[in-house]
Amino acid sequence: MNPSSGTARRATPKFGRIDAALESVEAAIARSRDYIFSIQHPEGYWCGELEADSMLEADYIFVHRFLGTGDEGKMQRALTEMLRFQNEDGSWSIYPGAPGNISLTVKCYFACKLMGWSQDEPILVKAREWILAHGGVVECNTFTKIYLCALGQYEYDAVPAVPPEIVLFPKWFYFNIYEISSWSRAILVPLSIAYAKKPFKKIPHEQGIDELFVGGRENANLHLKWDNKNWISWRNFFLMWDRIAHWAERIHIRPLRKIALKKAEKWMLERFEMSDGLGAIYPAMLNAIVALRCLGYSLDDPQVIRAMDEFEKLGIDEPMGTPDYPEPTFRMQPCMSPVWDTAQAIFALGEAGVPRNDARMLRAADWMLSKEVRHKGDWAMKVRNAEPGGWYFEFNNEFYPDVDDTAQVLLALNKVDNPRERYQYDVCLRAIDWVFSMQCRNGGWASFDKDNTKMIFQYIPFADHNAMLDPPTVDITGRILEMLALYGYTRKDKRVEKAIKFIYDEQEPDGSWFGRWGVNYIYGTFLVLRGLEAIGVWNHEPQIQQAAEWIRMVQNSDGGWGESCGSYDDPTTRGVGVSTPSQTAWAILGLLSAGDNRSDSVAKGVRWLLDHQQKDGGWDESMGEGVGRQAIYTGTGFPRVFYLAYHQYRNYFPLLALTNYKRAMERTA
């Protein structure tokens, strides 16, 4: 972190504490407000960069090499960006500081080969040694293997079957596609088309990766491993059906294949509409492009052109380099986050005292109102009688509104006095009704679907991306309770009480709560405490005080808080990590919600934020210097699989924390 000089004055300690002077807090709030407004788009929205691992650049190179398309200069810049993040041991990681990941490292190695690199290049020698030491290509996940198959580097018979017939299962059938998560659905339907068509493009032998198979490709056992310890298991059951599916493929017993492909194509094309690409997320968009080509669409077909254009929009091209990294680079984002960023920014600014009729706030509110969902999407397969409402995450994604964005938008709209008062009221009312319709049986809320909890799906062979389900989570549920309280709901509502019970049932023995959509227990705990306080739960309840004590216990010696993505793999490391602005803000907000505004923990945390604010009013959330500089990931895509760095988390959450601290100090002065 790069603390600014002279941005916060240390007050004289009082009763042995290090309270920040109120005027210092107010000055930091003013600087932060000004900075956030300075990055507002003229149309009214905010949209920070969304950063993820090097898989995005590697896959970008793969898809253009497979299609025979792409700008060579852009691909070379993507390669440069990818190489920035290779670890000393030769591997690539899914978040900064993580151990190497086999699937990601193989993809990055292959991308280098596709760009014409020799396997004798020192960078690839190190990567190859690491890959072979960790089992070679056969240890990669299904998605990686299928991509390799398309360029002749793996055998289709050895990867888990993803038959398009899955789209034919009726809605009442236990294994229909609406019983898996929305993102898996959007990824798997086009992938099933590719699997059925089995595309193959021959590449020069020197670009291949035979050297990544332990003992050589001809001696490698490519097939999935049975569970020899528990022969009667769901894994073996699904592996048996996988082998049957492959047998049927080999002898062409596929009576419904033509019908299935037609339905999969129709399903995919329908979801191109009112959307920035299929699902508006990178892997689904990439798979959709491949699927279109497999179905015979030409490169100049309007559907392919549109899909490619939406895919390319995710790129950030910097042919002149940046101050931190002077070499030309090109990087991809997994998606864009304008609705989410705008809702967070408006709420933080409103809490910070920006007038409710401020023209900039009104412009942002009207932009969000223009993004209200008015068509039924995939969610309606389980929620049949609800009127459409709510919001999605991206610029356009009408089929996939989510409960979390909807709750945050409602929190934000409450901070704005709109001249179209009746219209805004009706929109908010529809959204709240939709949110209630999405409440799960156990009282919690998930993100995109209702009761998406069939754990059996995790045993399906192609489910090794570890993200097949979208179960209810406490972080989303906590945010919804905060929103409902702001709109007048209380514990007298049975739906609210059911949500509180769900939250209590999910509390960890140490007092923390798991965070599904942010890293990790600090995120989950802060949102739960915010929600419980807002809805009227007494902050002296033992569950609340135990959570507050956990937050105080994991505070870093420098006064801040941090938690690594590694806590998803090893829960004993929860709350452990380098201090960051976003996570420090979350911890402070959690403690304030628990009624703690006078402890040394809170005072030190506020001091940390003040000392680390930059001169322009923002905060830095990165590690390393110069070309080795990397954002710290505090956002979660899929636990243990895919993580994110929201580049504006570091700004609007500290503003929210400082504002809430200032208000608490004024109340107790």
Burial of 54 (0-12, 13-18, 19+ CB in 10 A): buried
- Report the C-alpha gap between 527 and 552 in whole angstroms: 16
Neighbours of 304 (CB within 10 A): 18
Catalytic residue among 53, 242, 402, 404: 404
Contact between 212 and 487 under an 8 Å Cβ cutoff? The reply is no
User: How far apart, in whole angstroms, are the C-alpha atoms of residue 468 and residue 659?
Assistant: 39
- Whether the CB-CB separation of 352 and 417 falls below 8 Å is answered with no
Q: What is the DSSP letter of 357?
A: T
Q: Is residue 449 among the annotated active site residues?
A: no
Q: Is 157 exposed, middle or buried (0-12, 13-18, 19+ CB in 10 A)?
A: middle
Query: Cβ atoms within 10 A of the Cβ of 624, count?
Result: 12
Q: At 584, list the tokens.
A: 């420090």
CA 264, CA 166: separation in Å to the nearest integer? 9
Angle formed at CA 88 by CA 85 and CA 94, multiple of 5 degrees: 40
Residue with tokens 């934020």: 609
Q: Token digits for 189?
A: 């339907």
Total residue length of the chain: 669
User: Cα separation of 266 and 171, whole Å?
Assistant: 17
Q: Bridge-partner residues for 51, per DSSP?
A: 645
Q: Are 92 and 104 in contact (CB under 8 A)?
A: yes
- Map residue 106 onto helix, strand or coil: helix
CB neighbour list of residue 574: distance below 8 Å, 6 or more residues apart: 508, 510, 512, 520, 521, 554, 563, 567
CA distance 155 to 149: 6
Alpha helix (H) ranges present in 251-380?
A: 257-270, 282-294, 302-312, 338-351, 359-369
Residue 39 CA: distances (Å) to CA of 45, 393, 457? 9, 19, 43
User: 64 Cβ partners below 8 Å, 6+ apart?
Assistant: 70, 75
So which residues are the catalytic ones?
Answer: 404
